[in-house]
């Protein structure tokens, strides 16, 4: 059976289904928030069901079988080894980024991000009263690259921390080993702490290879890695991230932040789901990547045939397509608002970077049928624009 079948999430507290809807009711098709519109793998659902039926939900702890499952996942999938005291948990990757900025920098310190990027990267800097330095990614015909000269410039301005997004949401890059070598060399040269958000690490397309910052832990001592099963297995609502830090001093700073923010052991269901995901779902991950790849091809072919002027950014990793809509001559905030009247929800490029008003982001983690229906609605909107 195809595990990636349509799932109507209306009225289940799914943000993008219940809150992002315009005038539409159940017929609305959201492609915005980065979670999946099909079920989590069956072993996860079965394990959660069994735990619910057990009926007691008291205080829990992280046991060795959980730690082992996580360390084995890193070894099997990302090809690096860690010790159990180098891995600990937070209530999600965004929570981990807040801990990083708070614990590893001081007020007004300079923090670098590369745009366009997941909007919460801006929030973690501003909310902690740090100074934001932006290094813009370079774009050429639908392919993005890091601007290393720009990055070095921000480091020369005294940056203390750099938040890397690998794979990068929304531009879909899976940074190569050569690129990451350069990043680490620069961080080392300018003594900049490197925080790597690797939440999209398992969603890798074609023959691209994901390289984790875990490979660099012995080369540079100021690295913090944030990983999570949230995207891969559609369990973001359970709220869990696994953080890796080798440096004992940095680890103590983050542990302190965890204590003062009362971020105790993660939810019982979250750790159970993660352990099962990391021990019983390897096949599912392979199948999902093939499914996302097919949806991406479908999207590309659809627009190649019908609206060739629309540029689809090359998608190497993540399930998020970054689409250039400059040919519509309309700001993405207006486009995404008007699209609601056509029963389709996309993410507004402006939210990822004030200069991305020509972009929308479309989530491909849905059934083929949902994607086809969404594309028809998007196309109808484009036709109405060009005929207006
Ligand atoms: C790059 C990136 N980091 C973090 C998150 C959210 O992580 P979490 O739900 O674990 O806080 C997202 C969600 O879209 C993301 O794209």
Q: What is the pLDDT of residues 237-248, one digit of tens each?
A: 999 999 999 999
Q: Is the pLDDT of residue 27 over 70?
A: yes
Here the tokens at position 3 are: 């595990």
Task: Supply the mean pLDDT for the chain.
Answer: 96
Q: What is the pLDDT of residues 75-119, one digit of tens each?
A: 999 999 999 999 999 999 999 999 999 999 999 999 999 999 999
Q: Is the pLDDT of residue 21 over 90?
A: no
C-alpha of residue 206 to centroid of ligand 1, in Å? 23
The more confident residue out of 26 and 286 is 286
Average pLDDT value for residue range 362-379: 98
Side-chain half-sphere exposure of 175, counting CA atoms within 13 A: 27
Q: Classify the C-alpha dihedral 325-326-327-328 as positive or negative.
A: positive
Does 271 contact ligand 1 (Cβ within 6 A)?
A: no
Q: What is the pLDDT of residues 316-341, one digit of tens each?
A: 999 999 999 999 999 999 999 999 99
- Test site for ligand 1: of 94, 95, 170, 210, most ligand atoms within 8 A of the Cβ: 94
Average pLDDT value for residue range 191-202: 98
Average pLDDT value for residue range 228-232: 98
C-alpha of residue 199 to centroid of ligand 1, in Å? 6
Does 203 contact ligand 1 (Cβ within 6 A)?
A: no
C-alpha of residue 98 to centroid of ligand 1, in Å? 12
Q: What is the pLDDT of residues 253-273, one digit of tens each?
A: 999 999 998 877 899 999 999
Domains of the chain with CATH codes: 15-42+282-387 (3.90.1150.10), 57-280 (3.40.640.10)
Q: 349 φ, ψ to 5°?
A: -55, -35
Name 100's Cβ contacts closer than 8 Å, sequence gap at least 6. 124, 161, 163, 195, 224, 226, 254
Average pLDDT value for residue range 158-183: 98
From CA 28, how far away is CA 307, in angstroms rounded?
A: 23
pLDDT value at position 22? 63
Does 363 contact ligand 1 (Cβ within 6 A)?
A: no
Does 196 contact ligand 1 (Cβ within 6 A)?
A: no
Q: Is the pLDDT of residue 24 over 70?
A: no
Number of residues in the chain: 388
């Amino acid at each position: 059976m195809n595990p990636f079948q349509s799932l109507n999430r209306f009225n289940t507290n799914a943000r993008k289904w219940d809150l992002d809807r315009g005038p539409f009711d159940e017929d609305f098709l959201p492609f915005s928030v980065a979670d999946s519109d099909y079920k989590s793998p069956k072993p996860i659902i079965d394990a959660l069901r069994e735990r619910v039926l057990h009926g007691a939900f008291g205080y829990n702890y992280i046991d060795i079988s959980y730690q082992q499952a996580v360390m084995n996942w890193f070894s099997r999938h990302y090809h690096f080894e860690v010790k159990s005291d180098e891995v600990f948990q937070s209530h999600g990757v965004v929570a981990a980024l807040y801990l990083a900025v708070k614990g590893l920098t001081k007020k007004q310190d300079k923090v670098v991000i590369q745009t366009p990027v997941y909007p919460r990267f801006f929030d973690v800097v501003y909310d902690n009263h740090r100074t934001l330095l932006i290094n813009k990614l370079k774009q050429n015909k639908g392919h993005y690259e890091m601007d290393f000269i720009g990055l070095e410039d921000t480091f020369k301005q005294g940056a203390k921390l750099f938040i890397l997004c690998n794979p990068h949401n929304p531009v879909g890059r899976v940074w190569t080993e050569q690129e990451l070598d350069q990043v680490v060399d620069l961080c080392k040269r300018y003594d900049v702490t490197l925080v790597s958000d690797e939440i999209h690490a398992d969603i890798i397309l074609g023959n691209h290879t994901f390289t984790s910052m875990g490979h660099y832990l012995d080369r540079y001592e100021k690295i913090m890695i944030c990983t999570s099963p949230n995207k891969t297995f559609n369990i973001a609502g359970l709220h869990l991230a696994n953080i890796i830090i080798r440096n004992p001093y940095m680890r103590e700073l983050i542990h302190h932040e965890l204590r003062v923010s009362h971020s105790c052991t993660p939810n019982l269901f979250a750790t159970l789901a993660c352990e099962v995901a990391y021990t019983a779902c390897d096949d599912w991950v392979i199948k999902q990547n093939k499914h996302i790849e097919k949806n991406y091809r479908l999207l590309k072919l659809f627009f190649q045939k019908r609206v060739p002027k629309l540029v689809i950014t090359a998608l190497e990793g993540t399930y998020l397509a970054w689409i250039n809509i400059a040919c519509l001559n309309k700001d993405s905030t207006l486009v995404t608002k008007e699209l609601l009247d056509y029963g389709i929800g996309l993410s507004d490029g402006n939210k990822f970077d004030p200069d991305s008003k020509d972009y929308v982001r479309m989530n491909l983690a849905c059934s083929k049928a949902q994607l086809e229906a969404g594309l028809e609605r998007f196309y109808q909107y484009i036709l109405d624009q060009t005929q207006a």
